[in-house]
Structure 1
Amino acid sequence: MRPPTRTATLLATAVVTALLFTGCAADSWSEPHAAPTPVGALGAGFEPSASPSPEATVVPRPGSWNDVRPSAGYRVVLITAGDDKPTRTVVGAVERWAADEDVDLRTVTVEANPLDAIVQAMKLKPDLIVSAGNDLIDPLATVTANHLDQQFLVVGAEVAEPTENVTAVDWTGASFRGEGLGTSSTYDPESFTAERCGAAVRAGVAAVLHDFTGIVLWID
């Protein structure tokens, strides 16, 4: 049998190396991971002078979150449900923020059962789970209280009775709360602009990174 040529050997080595790197990338979240920290400080007016009560609504000064970003290696899972324009806009905002800040982002799309998608996201053990889509609100209310070690961020809606690990960002036109109440009379899909959703993601992440959680941030 003729021995392999040098070109064939190099090609085989390259394929094996690529597979090894692919496996490492796909399995990277199983490696030890340092706890995330905020890079940058909250601006004046982000937190109220008195500590808010759990479930309180806080109105931070516009832009007071702009100087905060996550430390390197921040792991985020985006759960998305629905194909309506507001949901797509939130998804786009999360993706742009993740790209800008070099965040390790993975996405779980609800195919049938939202609870299954939430469990799938939690199994990845990310630093933060971000939800996009009103169909996730009731399932999140069911799950989050039993998993206080996992941080959640809800953008453009809110859980009716959030526990300390659930932070929401809302504005006029986006205060969906689930529990069979339907959409608010002030609900306005047009309020979900790319700019507002982008600000909501940054404000919410800034709050979580500074352990300012379990509240609703209002960003009108």
Structure 2
Amino acid sequence: MRPPLRAVALLAVTAALLAGCDSGDDWARPRPTPSAIGTLGPGFVDPSAKPAPEATITPQPGSWAGVHPPRGYRVVLLTSGDDTPTRALVSAVQEWAEEEHVDLRTTAIADAHDIVPRIATAMEMGPDLVVSAGNDLIDALALVTPNHLDEKFLVVGAELAEPTHNVTAVDWDGASFRGEGLGMSSTYDPASFTSERCASAIRAGVAAVLNDLTGIVVWL
């Protein structure tokens, strides 16, 4: 009898982490938890009540503009798929990283069988944040993220059906893919992945993460 998919995923993650533990990568060196530079503007979130787990917030446009990551913020961008929305998201993340002096490393995954091990490799690198772009990654993230609660993940242009507190998502009408056999949203619209919307997604999402507003959906 074949082992359950979840068990296979956990074994793959464990093997990848063990294989990479002696990488000698500079990112593996301990350092203080990064702090946000700047503050959230009015209307991002109700300051008197932190959002509940899995809640959806709808911040005022631009209320995240005053928040920036510290220079050298370590980000791994995981991407899978060559569709127009995914390419738009990847471009937005790369442009944001350059403008904000983020230390970005991109992992493009072509084979669906490689997704879980490559997520594990991304975690082993020691990033401050793992960013996901591409609907093909969602099911694998749903398997891996609940077992690695010390790792922070940001999903842009999609979301997990049941995110744990370490997974934040940025979504909008026209996106909102959730995986786990739920199918594509009836409102899915590739044209909604404009450069402006994708740029807002990465900035709003990182602003939420840096302010410890995680495990939620930021709705644009």
Contact map agreement 2:28 2:126 (CA 8 A) in 1: no
How many corresponding residue pairs?
Answer: 194
Runs of 4+ in 1 over 6 A off after TM superposition: none
Q: Give the Cα–Cα distance (whole angstroms) in 2 for the partners of residues 97 and 31 of structure 1.
A: 25
2:82 matched to which residue of 1?
83
The answer on 1:74 being equivalent to 2:43 is no
Cα RMSD, aligned residues only: 1.2
Q: Show the 5 A alignment for 1:1-220.
A: 27-48=25-46, 49-112=48-111, 113-219=114-220
SS at match of 1:130: strand
Task: Show CA shifts across 1:3-33 (max 9, x none).
Answer: xxxxxxxxxxxxxxxxxxxxxxx93323343
- Give the C-alpha shift of residue 51 in structure 1: 2.5
Q: What amino acid sits opposite 2:41 in the alignment?
A: G
TM-score of the superposed pair, with normalisation by structure 1? 0.86
Task: Show CA shifts across 1:151-207 (max 9, x none).
Answer: 000000000000000000001000000011111000000100111000010000000
Contact map agreement 2:92 2:199 (CA 8 A) in 1: yes
Contact map agreement 1:38 1:69 (CA 8 A) in 2: yes
Q: Give the Cα–Cα distance (whole angstroms) in 1 for the partners of residues 164 and 88 of structure 2.
A: 26
- Give the C-alpha shift of residue 90 in structure 1: 0.3
SS at match of 2:138: helix
SS at match of 1:70: coil
Contact map agreement 1:109 1:117 (CA 8 A) in 2: no
Q: What amino acid sits opposite 1:151 in the alignment?
A: K
2:3 matched to which residue of 1?
none
TM-score of the superposed pair, with normalisation by structure 2? 0.86
Q: Give the Cα–Cα distance (whole angstroms) in 2 for the partners of residues 51 and 37 of structure 1.
A: 18
Q: Give the Cα–Cα distance (whole angstroms) in 1 for the partners of residues 145 and 206 of structure 2.
A: 17
- Give the C-alpha shift of residue 41 in structure 1: 0.2
The structure that has the greater radius of gyration is 1
Contact map agreement 1:79 1:109 (CA 8 A) in 2: yes
Q: Give the Cα–Cα distance (whole angstroms) in 2 for the partners of residues 161 and 30 of structure 1.
A: 29
Identify the structure with bigger relative contact order (alpha carbons < 8 Å, sequence gap 6+). 2
1:19 matched to which residue of 2?
none
- Give the C-alpha shift of residue 42 in structure 1: 0.2
Q: Give the Cα–Cα distance (whole angstroms) in 2 for the partners of residues 211 and 50 of structure 1.
A: 13
- Give the C-alpha shift of residue 91 in structure 1: 0.3
SS at match of 2:45: coil
